[in-house]
A = this chain, B = another copy of it.
Amino acid sequence: MSEKLSTQPYKGTRDFYPAEMRLRNWFFGVIRKVLETSAFDEYNGPMLESLDLYAAKSGEEIANEQTYNFTDRGERRLAIRPEMTPTVARMVAGQMGTLNFPLKWFSIPNMYRYERPQRGRLREFWQINVDIFGCDGFEADLECIASAINILRAYGADASMFTVHINNRRFFNDVISAIAGTDAEGSRKVSKVIDKRNKIPRAVYDQELAELGMSEEQIARVDALYHMDVIEATDICPDSVGSQELRQLFDALKKTGMDQYCVFDFGIIRGLDYYTGTVFEVFDNAPENNRAMFGGGRYDNLVGLFVKNAKISGVGYGMGDVTLENFLFTHKLVPETFGSGVKVLVTRFDDVPYEAYLALVDRLRDAGIVASVYLGTKKFGKQIDFAVKDGYSHIVVMGGDEYAGGVVKLKDLGTREERTLSIEDAIALLK
């Protein structure tokens, strides 16, 4: 091997050295704590799935293009999972007869998408997935949105930093039919144009709607929806199930004080073919970063891909680690240190038996204190340098004299304070 291998990770993926890993463990720990306290159950599935799962949900072309996929020696077409929803739908379908609905499930899987790496988008990422299956009522939508708000609040985020934008796909369909006066097929065509509103030139948008028979006044009424609150908007079609769902949800948000984090936003659609009820996106309010961080909503019948005539509705969201980390750094919500910060290096001298140091370290560890003996035989000054550079908070020094006297020197590397005391007292002080 004269040609040396590259030390770079594969394009679009990351190495997590200990400093970054501590951040991640804190980061995911906060999420786990919030979700577990809210009685969500964690699950996981395999990293490789049949490519057919993604083709059935998103179409053959998207599945092929956006996943890392290949054929195994048994001619099975496999993909590295690019999202968790098909896996969780498969799992729910697989034990549909024995599972105890409604399910409140979450997962924090790593996954891969084959795309050009850019800010907020990498090829390998982790995605927090939260879903409630088998509850059709607004209560599940509320619980789902509340969990997202509670996660962000647990990091210390407040209402000035993020906003949950909420709409409802049933309402969207009904209000468009009401304004355009179209039948189901006509409304579907109009919806497709409205879905593109921010992606195509205004003149094209107007023209396409006009071609579908909409008047200038009707188009203006659709425009007005983007500035309405939930009451005004739902007044246009008060009998729509979607309107009732929206009002119920916003009423409950208000009564629980969560309305401070939420707004009605007619611009939230999130893919025409997938969502069926409540849809929402969580926006970062920072001006330099103002965009949707993640979102979700209610979808029906994913389980139907696996089980004939099955109808289990779900509501959920997926939150990517990269975007969420950007948010936390932007709003300075990442602490400087994680954990208690107490970490003790037992330094080592030649005139004390090594096993005496090992016994000392064992006593510290048994007391739950993070501790290590210095591995090696370098001079005392080098051992201190190692401790400082490695983020140790304290050193315990036991030279020949201390060893003979049954004491240790405990030095706080922050304050540089040093005390000679018994091992018991050192442990008590460190705890």
Q: In the complex, which of the residues A6, A7, A90, A102 has the most CB atoms of chain B within 10 Å of its own CB atom?
A: A7
List of B residues within 8 angstroms of A94 by Cβ: 7-8, 15
- Given A4-B305, A8-B94, A305-B5, check contact A15 B376 (CB 8 Å): no
Shortest CB–CB separation between residue A51 and chain B, in angstroms?
11
Binds B, one of A70-78, A161-169, A193-201, A399-407: A70-78
| Count of this chain's copies in the oligomeric assembly | 2
- Given A355-B252, A355-B255, A377-B137, check contact A16 B39 (CB 8 Å): no
- Given A45-B16, A369-B37, A372-B39, check contact A7 B124 (CB 8 Å): no
- Given A10-B48, A52-B5, check contact A43 B16 (CB 8 Å): yes
Cα(A64)–Cα(B349), bound, Å: 49
Shortest CB–CB separation between residue A258 and chain B, in angstroms?
9
Size band of the interface chain A makes with B: 35 or more
What per-residue 1/0 map shows which CB atoms of A1-36 lie under 8 Å from chain B?
A: 100111111110111111001101100000000001
What per-residue 1/0 map shows which CB atoms of A109-139 lie under 8 Å from chain B?
A: 0101010000000011000000010010101
List of B residues within 8 angstroms of A41 by Cβ: 18, 21-22
List of B residues within 8 angstroms of A142 by Cβ: 358
- Given A100-B389, A139-B373, A370-B37, check contact A93 B46 (CB 8 Å): no
Q: Is the CB of B17 within 8 A of A43?
A: yes
* A95 close to chain B: CB less than 8 A: yes
List of B residues within 8 angstroms of A39 by Cβ: 343, 345, 370-372
Cα(A354)–Cα(B140), bound, Å: 12
- Given A39-B370, A48-B10, A110-B47, check contact A15 B135 (CB 8 Å): no
What per-residue 1/0 map shows which CB atoms of A248-264 lie under 8 Å from chain B?
A: 00001001100000000
- Given A36-B370, A377-B137, check contact A306 B21 (CB 8 Å): no
* A390 close to chain B: CB less than 8 A: yes
Q: Is the CB of A307 within 8 A of B376?
A: no
Q: Report the nearest B residue to A122, measured CB to CB.
A: B46
* A269 close to chain B: CB less than 8 A: no
Shortest CB–CB separation between residue A43 and chain B, in angstroms?
5
* A386 close to chain B: CB less than 8 A: yes
* A155 close to chain B: CB less than 8 A: no
Shortest CB–CB separation between residue A37 and chain B, in angstroms?
5
What per-residue 1/0 map shows which CB atoms of A367-408 lie under 8 Å from chain B?
A: 011111101110000000010011000000000000000000
A42 partner, pick from B21, B68, B104, B256, beta carbons under 8 A: B21
* A365 close to chain B: CB less than 8 A: yes
Q: What are 21 A-B contacts defined by CB distance under 8 Å?
A: A5-B90, A8-B94, A10-B46, A13-B46, A15-B91, A16-B43, A17-B43, A18-B41, A21-B41, A21-B44, A38-B370, A47-B112, A47-B124, A48-B80, A48-B124, A80-B80, A100-B389, A110-B110, A142-B358, A143-B372, A255-B355
6 new A-B contacts, CB < 8 A, other than A22-B42, A68-B78, are A1-B56, A5-B90, A10-B48, A72-B114, A143-B373, A255-B355
